[in-house]
Amino acid sequence: MNATVKIFKNLPLLIFMWFFFYSPFLKANEQTDSLQKILQKATIDSVKIKILFELGNLYIDGPSDSLIYYYQLALEPILKFFNKPPETRNKEDEKVVLTYKQFHFRALNEIGIEKFYLGQYNESLNFAFAALKVAEEIKDEGLISECCGSIGIVYKNQGKYPEALEYYERALNLAIEIQDTAWIAACYANAGNVYRRLGNFTKALDYHLKAYQVFEKSGEERRMAIGLMNIGNLYEDQKDNNLALEYYSRALKMSYNTEDHKRIAECLLNIGNIYSGRGNYSIAREYYEKSLKIHNEQGFIYTLDDCYRSIGNSFETEGNSDKALEYFDKALELAEKEDDKSTLSEVNGSIASIYIRKKEFKKGYEFALNSLNIAKKSSDLNNIKNAFALLSEALEGLNDTKGSLEYFKQFSSIKDSLFNSEKYRSIKEIEAKYELEKKEQQLALLTEKNQVQLLIISRRNRVMIASGIAIILIILIGYILIRNSRLKSRHQAIELEQKLLRSQMNPHFIFNSLIAIQSYIYKKDPVQAGDFLAKFADLIRITLENSRSEFVLLEKEIRMLQYYLDLQSLRFEYKFDYTIKLDEAIDAQSVKVPPMLAQPFIENAIEHGLRLKQDDGLISIKYHKENTHLVFTVEDNGIGREKARELEISKQHKSMATSITRERLEILGKSHKQKFSLELTDLTDKSGTPCGTLVKFEMPFKDVI
Q: Is the pTM of this model over 0.85?
A: no
Annotate 180-232 with DSSP letters as a single string.
-HHHHHHHHHHHHHHHHHTT-HHHHHHHHHHHHHHHHHHT-HHHHHHHHHHHH
Amino acid 664: pLDDT? 79
**Structure-derived torsion over alpha carbons of residues 667, 670, 672, 673, reported in degrees to the nearest 10:** 150
Pairing relationship of beta strands 617-626 and 576-582 according to DSSP bridges? parallel
Residues 281, 286, 287, 288: is their CA dihedral positive or negative? positive
Whether the Cβ atoms of residue 551 and residue 592 lie closer than 8 Å to each other: yes
Amino acid 454: pLDDT? 61
Amino acid 491: pLDDT? 62
Element (H, E) at 681: strand 677-684
Amino acid 50: pLDDT? 86
Nearest residue to 78 (alpha-carbon basis) of 65, 60, 97: 97
Query: Tell me: the pLDDT tens digits for 252-268?
Result: 999 999 888 888 988 99
Whether the Cβ atoms of residue 53 and residue 70 lie closer than 8 Å to each other: yes
Point out which residues pair with 698 in neighbouring strands: 631, 677
Nearest residue to 620 (alpha-carbon basis) of 572, 683, 571, 573: 683
Pairing relationship of beta strands 617-626 and 629-636 according to DSSP bridges? antiparallel
Amino acid 1: pLDDT? 41
Whether the Cβ atoms of residue 485 and residue 455 lie closer than 8 Å to each other: yes
Whether the Cβ atoms of residue 36 and residue 55 lie closer than 8 Å to each other: yes
Taking each continuous run of H as one helix and of E as one strand, the counts in the chain are 30, 8
Query: Tell me: the pLDDT tens digits for 154-210?
Result: 888 877 888 888 898 888 899 888 888 888 888 888 888 888 777 777 888 888 888
Query: Tell me: the pLDDT tens digits for 574-624?
Result: 788 899 999 888 888 888 888 888 888 888 888 777 777 777 889 999 999
**Through-space distance between the first and last CA atoms of the chain, rounded to whole angstroms:** 54
Whether the Cβ atoms of residue 127 and residue 108 lie closer than 8 Å to each other: yes
Alpha helices in 503-525 (DSSP H): 507-522
Amino acid 333: pLDDT? 85
Residues 6+ apart with CB under 8 A from 481: 459
pLDDT averages per 10-residue partition of the chain, 705 residues: 41 39 48 77 81 82 79 86 72 78 89 83 90 89 89 85 87 87 83 80 83 81 86 82 89 90 89 88 89 84 81 86 87 81 85 88 89 80 84 88 85 67 45 46 56 62 68 77 65 51 54 67 71 79 76 88 84 84 87 85 81 82 88 88 67 61 81 85 85 90 64
From the centroid of its chain, how far is CA 40? 51
Greatest pairwise CA separation for the chain in angstroms? 114
Nearest residue to 318 (alpha-carbon basis) of 345, 346, 280: 280
Amino acid 8: pLDDT? 40
Residue 251 in 3-state DSSP?
helix
The CA distance from 470 to 259, in Å, is 66
Assigned superfamily of 577-703: Histidine kinase-like ATPase, C-terminal domain (3.30.565.10)
Residue 559's alpha-carbon distances to 75, 235, 275, 604, 701, in angstroms, are: 59, 16, 20, 20, 19
Supply angle C-alpha 504, 578, 659, rounded to 5.
Answer: 35
Amino acid 92: pLDDT? 62
